[in-house]
Amino acid sequence: MRDGDIAYLAFTERGRALARTLSGALGGEVSCTRDGVSLREWTAEAFAARRALVYVGAAGIAVRAVAPLLVSKASDPAVLAVDECARFAVPLASGHLGGANELARQIARVCGATAVVTTATDARGVFAVDEWARAQGMAIPDAARIRYVSARLLAGETVTVRSALPIDGAPPDGVTLTESDDADVWVDWRAHDALTLAPGMLVLGVGCKRGTARETLERRFAALCAETGALPETIHAAATIDRKRGEAGLSAFCAAHGWALSYDTANALASAEGDFSASAFVAQTTGVDNVCERAAALRAGGELVVRKYAGEGVTLALAKRRLRLDWRQSHG
């Protein structure tokens, strides 16, 4: 985790000293109830703002503090308890997707504690699909499906994975790659009726009329996703022509999704390699025959997967980045 992602709460001076040791090695901010910090208020604020909460004290205190705030392992931050004697580091919530298990291992390496990891896949040495997804930077839009895949692996059954990206290394025990449409797990930019892992593999190319509102862009993007099955979680960034710099609606649209928006000149877009839709009107207006497809392909450095999708003065396209995954990276 990045510096600042972790919040530590101690309850004694000894606990504070341990928290500072951990913060010095792993980053993060240390607080202590001895300074008048409210357990309830600290928990609410840290839960909303941080990726990990580490309570340096009894596990029971941590459990009671976070229990009212827990919603889903797909969105909740990692929650851990570390006793002030540094004997045990215990992941309590979001072990795989939130990274609590891996953080417990890191804490153990720093202070000599034992990481008490209790998730079944870890305890039995079985491939954890959600932990692998996190290590590879993939989102899981429907985390409820994880348990079905994990249950099959724990039962000794084979799970099939179909991937739209190359994966280096050999699949772990119990996992096999397939080209079948009946795969148990999909790694793809589209939604499937199975556990789908969503890598940030796409660039969204955008063209729009001057003054286009964010709401219009949101509406057209939602229509694109509905029609093509594209998962918003797979979009890594957005791109357009430099003539759109300063468009408030476009900037707000990208910011709301957390996408960096890049701008390229007409000459740069014209140099993009590929087969693109051409419009004489667009060429006359912008100096290049297509904006959305060329912008997406240029910034992705890969092929188009969705060609120009137009409506309400907006054009959108999706291009695939040249990414590779790795079976061997089971932990971040």
Percent of the chain with pLDDT over 70: 98
The average confidence (pLDDT) of the chain is 94
**What pLDDT band is residue 332 in, cutting at 50, 70 and 90?**
very low
Which run of H or E residues covers position 228?
Answer: helix 214-228
pLDDT the model gives residue 1:
59
Question: Domain 138-199 belongs to what architecture?
Answer: 3-Layer(aba) Sandwich (3.40)
The three-class DSSP label of residue 213 is: coil
Query: Cα–chain-centroid distance for residue 144?
Result: 16
Q: Which residue has the higher pLDDT, 282 or 1?
A: 282
Residue ranges, comma separated, of all CATH 3.40.1390 domains in the chain are 138-199
CATH 3.30.420.180 segments of the chain: 202-320
Digit-coded pLDDT (tens) for 69-123: 999 888 899 999 999 999 999 999 988 888 899 999 999 999 999 999 887 777 7
| Helix ranges (DSSP H) in 234-279 | 248-257, 266-270
pTM greater than 0.85 (yes/no): no
C-alpha span between 274 and 277 (Å, rounded): 10
The per-residue pLDDT for 124 is: 79
Pick the CATH number of 6-118 from 3.40.50.720, 3.40.640.10, 3.30.750.24, 3.40.50.11220: 3.40.50.11220
CATH architecture for residues 202-320: 2-Layer Sandwich (3.30)
Q: How many CB atoms sit inside 10 A of residue 233's CB?
A: 19
Residue 131 scores a pLDDT above 50: yes
Span 11-44, pLDDT tens digits: 999 999 999 999 999 999 999 999 999 999 999 9
Round to whole Å and give the CA distance between 46 and 54.
10
Domain with CATH 3.40.50.11220 in the chain: 6-118
pLDDT at residue number 126: 84
- Reported as a single tens digit per residue, the pLDDT across 132-165 is 998 899 999 998 899 899 999 999 999 999 999 9
Q: With 0-12 CB in 10 A as exposed, 13-18 as middle and 19+ as buried, what is 251? A: middle
